[in-house]
Amino acid sequence: MKQFLKKYYAITDRKQFRHPFEIQIKKMLDRGIRMFQLREKDLTPDQLFRLATELKDVLSGYDASFFINDRVDVAVIVGANGVHLPSKSIPVEAVKHKFPELIVGKSCHSIDEALKAEKEGADYITFSPIFETPEKGNPVGLEALSQVVEKVSIPVYALGGITEEKIPDVLKTGVYGIAGIRLFIS
Amino acid sequence: MKQFLKKYYAITDRKQFRHPFEIQIKKMLDRGIRMFQLREKDLTPDQLFRLATELKDVLSGYDASFFINDRVDVAVIVGANGVHLPSKSIPVEAVKHKFPELIVGKSCHSIDEALKAEKEGADYITFSPIFETPEKGNPVGLEALSQVVEKVSIPVYALGGITEEKIPDVLKTGVYGIAGIRLFIS
């Protein structure tokens, strides 16, 4: 499974894209990004399904993995590598039990949540927001990130407010990878 | 599959319930209802998952079937008999292809939609709104219902604005069953 969990993890928000969807994804591929999460909360399920199919097509031929935010059904039907479960999603355990072939990620915002996600069978977590970022509440900071990295044995992605300049400091915590939305848009 | 498609089909809207969820469902069971659709659009996925589990528990011991509105993942994970797909959901074909064991229903509002749903592999459809009902657009009427019943060979449920007094006229169209929200609340 680890081959699908890359060091840099781009989470989409097409409203912030500077180019049409396919071109923006290709620009990220050109920069070396090989792991994506489709996270487009305003789309209807049929629109999300179509965009997921489009993403899969764009990534074909690359050694790239992709995940669907929240909708386990879309992930399974489209053939994504996994699903990323936000806070109010179907429980990790229930998803893993029924779809053991899916890689399941979980959004965590505290050490307790990280420990719980690992116990429930999450394959990786995002820990956020590391730094200040709009509409995402108080930052957890690098120290809490270091503690999470120490306490859980599954891969941890740092997420939230990370700029290119901050990447070296974030990596010093021993984190598995860096996730971001704006970070990878150019 | 037909044994799971009963004549009367109660679609939930707990905001209109007169009793707590479990008691209201039991009252419907007491009235002989044996087919349910959990349709609670304001719930988060984890809340929907929990309520679906609760519904399953309430129905256990009855020869009753239940369906989940829109969320194929919740239907599969909870072990519902099927999923009911509203207009903007994942396409019927895609769901049937990946989950052939699920009974798939589809909301239709015109004869063309009904024919399309049948062609895509829907196991039954709802046709609505038959009569005037709040926030559901122009009624399709009994004549269009008769035409749909004639033109498709899958079970058709009449839905929308049906009161007890109108049931005999609706049944005269040859419709397979009657679906309703308010109709079954007492």
Per residue in A110-147, pLDDT (tens digit) is 999 999 999 999 999 999 999 998 877 899 999 999 99
**Chain B within 8 Å of A102 (Cβ-Cβ)?**
no
Going by the DSSP 8-state scheme, the letter that residue B166 receives in this structure is G
Per the model's pLDDT, the better-predicted residue between A137 and B88 turns out to be B88
pLDDT in the model for residue A136? 79
- Range list of H helices, B35-166: 45-59, 72-78, 92-98, 111-120, 141-151
Please state, rounded to an integer, the average pLDDT across all residues of chain B: 97
B171 to A183, B108, B162, B174: CA distances (angstroms): 60, 18, 11, 6
**CA-based nearest residue to A159, from A151, A148, A150, A16:** A148
Mean predicted confidence (pLDDT) in A74-89: 98
A112, A140 in Cβ contact below 8 A?
no
A130, A103 in Cβ contact below 8 A?
no
Q: Give A-chain residues touching B91 at CB under 8 angstroms.
A: 46, 49
Mean predicted confidence (pLDDT) in A58-65: 97
Mean predicted confidence (pLDDT) in A70-98: 98
**CA-based nearest residue to B40, from B56, B27, B21:** B21
* Nearest-Cα residue of chain A relative to residue B48: A90
Substitution target in B46, B47, B90 with the highest count of A β-carbons within 10 Å is: B90
Structure tokens at B125: 């459809």
**Chain B within 8 Å of A50 (Cβ-Cβ)?**
no
Substitution target in A76, A89, A90 with the highest count of B β-carbons within 10 Å is: A90
CATH of the domain at B42: 3.20.20.70
Mean predicted confidence (pLDDT) in B123-127: 98
Predicted confidence (pLDDT) at residue A157 exceeds the cutoff of 90? yes
Q: Give B-chain residues touching A76 at CB under 8 angstroms.
A: 73, 98
Taking CA B153 as the corner, what is the angle to CA B97 and CA B64, rounded to the nearest 5 degrees? 70
Residues forming beta bridges with residue B8, ordered by sequence position:
B178
Structure tokens at B122: 């829907």
Q: Is A174 left (phi over 0), alpha (psi -120 to 50) or beta?
A: left
Q: Residue type for B76, please?
A: V
pLDDT in the model for residue B1? 84
Please report where in the chains the tokens 């905001």 appear, as a residue: B15
* pLDDT tens digit sequence for B142-183: 999 999 999 999 999 999 999 999 999 999 999 999 999 999
Sorting pLDDT into bands at 50, 70 and 90, what band is B135? confident
* pLDDT tens digit sequence for B23-80: 999 999 999 999 999 999 999 999 999 999 999 999 999 999 999 999 999 999 999 9
* Nearest-Cα residue of chain A relative to residue B51: A90
Q: What is the span of the domain harbouring residue B157?
A: 2-184
Q: Is B100 left (phi over 0), alpha (psi -120 to 50) or beta?
A: alpha
Please report the ipTM that was assigned to this predicted complex. 0.95
pLDDT in the model for residue A135? 79
Sorting pLDDT into bands at 50, 70 and 90, what band is A155? very high
Domain total in chain A: 1
**Chain B within 8 Å of A44 (Cβ-Cβ)?**
yes
Substitution target in A41, A70, A73 with the highest count of B β-carbons within 10 Å is: A73
pLDDT in the model for residue A1? 84
Predicted confidence (pLDDT) at residue B134 exceeds the cutoff of 90? no
Please state, rounded to an integer, the average pLDDT across all residues of chain A: 97
Q: Across the interface, do A47 and B88 touch by the CB < 8 Å criterion?
A: yes
